[in-house]
């Protein structure tokens, strides 16, 4: 399994298994939902580059977790984003076919849009083949 697919699956499970987050949102999705009502969590874009050594295959993967909330309830967005961040930070480091050797928060921001507000939590994972 590719590193990106394995990581996406592991992040999704970590978010779904995090009870404080799961209990406050209407859904946690891998792909954009058709008619989901905020608040919900969505795995954002995933970018992957080579991070191999002379002896081991490796990938550096940058990804985002997006939390969407209604404009009228935007005050809740910060706490939802904190729970999403905690879920990813606590995820297991051994995933299918790969070992996460470094998982670092890169940036967290809140984007004000005309529709739902979005919290974007951006991560960098460095992984070696298991």
pLDDT tens digits in sequence order for the chain, 130 residues long: 899 999 999 999 999 999 999 999 999 999 988 888 999 999 999 999 999 999 999 999 999 999 999 877 778 999 999 999 999 999 999 999 999 999 999 999 999 877 789 999 999 999 999 9
21: closest CA among 75, 104, 86, 117?
Answer: 86
pTM: predicted TM-score of the whole model, two decimal places? 0.93
- What's the confidence (pLDDT) of residue 71? 73
Residue boundaries of the structural domains of the chain: 3-129
Instruction: Judge whether 93 and 103 are in contact, CB under 8 Å.
Output: yes
Q: Residues with Cβ < 8 Å from 27, sequence gap 6 or more?
A: 33, 36, 40, 41
Q: Which pLDDT does position 89 carry in this prediction? A: 98
Sign of CA dihedral 71, 73, 76, 80: negative
pLDDT of residue 115: 79
Inter-residue contact 60 to 53 (CB < 8 Å): no
H/E element holding 45?
Answer: strand 40-50
Tell me how many degrees the CA angle 109-111-115 measures, rounded to the nearest 5.
Answer: 150
Fold classification of 3-129 (topology level):
STM4215-like (3.30.2000)
């Amino acid at each position: 399994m590719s590193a990106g697919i394995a990581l996406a699956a592991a992040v999704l499970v970590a978010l779904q298994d995090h009870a404080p987050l799961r209990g406050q949102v209407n859904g946690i999705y891998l792909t954009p939902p058709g008619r989901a009502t905020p608040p919900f969590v969505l795995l954002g874009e995933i970018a992957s580059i080579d991070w191999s050594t002379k002896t081991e295959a490796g990938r550096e993967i940058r990804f985002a977790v997006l939390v969407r909330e209604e404009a009228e309830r935007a005050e809740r967005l910060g706490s939802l984003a904190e729970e999403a961040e905690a879920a990813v930070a606590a995820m297991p480091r051994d995933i299918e076919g790969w070992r996460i050797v470094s998982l670092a928060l890169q940036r967290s921001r809140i984007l004000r849009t005309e529709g739902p507000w979005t919290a974007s939590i951006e991560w960098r994972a460095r992984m070696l083949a298991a």
